[in-house]
Amino acid sequence: MIKPTVLILCTGNSCRSHLAEGFLRAIGGDFLDVQSAGSKPAGYVHPLAIQVMKEVNIDILHHRSKPLTEFLDIKIDTVITVCGNADQVCPVFPGQMRRYHWPFRDPAHATGTIDEQLIIFRQVRDEIRRVFEAYAFGRRDGTSD
């Protein structure tokens, strides 16, 4: 059975999209092919994103920041944008059936001490977790498109 591909997009593909990809893979990786990309990839996954996901036992250390152009020739079932900029520049992918826009604030813009930045990263992580867990369970149950 071929798993439908869900592509999570944001601008930099360094924080939000990787948090979402991590949660969606952890919950739905057995029935979804979960990927992420950016319209202007930063070229790295933010170290604090890696750290806060490790706190919830999800390893995104080996994720990489990649451009959405890597996915233009792949059948994408669902595109989920997690920031306004990505939503505005998101192309329509061949075979795409669904598109959602669930914006989250960008923790990469957090300022202050590392501890203060971690507070923001954890808040965004937990917001993303709630949304993507609900989506995954809905897809699994067949109650969500």
Which tens digit of pLDDT belongs to each residue from 40-52?
999 999 999 999 9
Given a cut of 90, is residue 116 above it in pLDDT? yes
Backbone angles phi, psi at 61, to 5 degrees: -55, -35
pLDDT at 99: 87
Give the CA radius of gyration of the chain.
14
CB atoms within 10 A of CB 2: 7
Residue count of the chain, please give it: 145
User: Measured between alpha carbons, how far is 16 from 11 in angstroms, rounded to an integer?
Assistant: 9
As a whole-number percent, the residues of the chain with pLDDT over 70 amount to 90
Coil vs helix vs strand at 59:
coil
pLDDT at 138: 92
Residues serving a catalytic function are 10, 83, 90
CB atoms within 10 A of CB 62: 7
pLDDT mean over 71-77: 88
User: Measured between alpha carbons, how far is 71 from 138 in angstroms, rounded to an integer?
Assistant: 25
Q: What is the pTM of this model?
A: 0.90
Domains in the chain, please, with CATH? 5-139 (3.40.50.2300)
Determine contact, residues 117/9, Cβ cutoff 8 Å. Answer: no
pLDDT tens sequence across 9-28: 998 999 999 999 999 999 99
Q: CA triplet 125, 96, 86: central angle to 5 degrees?
A: 45
Given a cut of 90, is residue 122 above it in pLDDT? yes
Given a cut of 90, is residue 143 above it in pLDDT? no
Local structure of residue 67 (DSSP, 8 states): B
Among 61-70, 82-91, 104-113, 130-139, the range scoring the smallest mean pLDDT is 82-91
> What does the mean pLDDT of the chain come to?
90
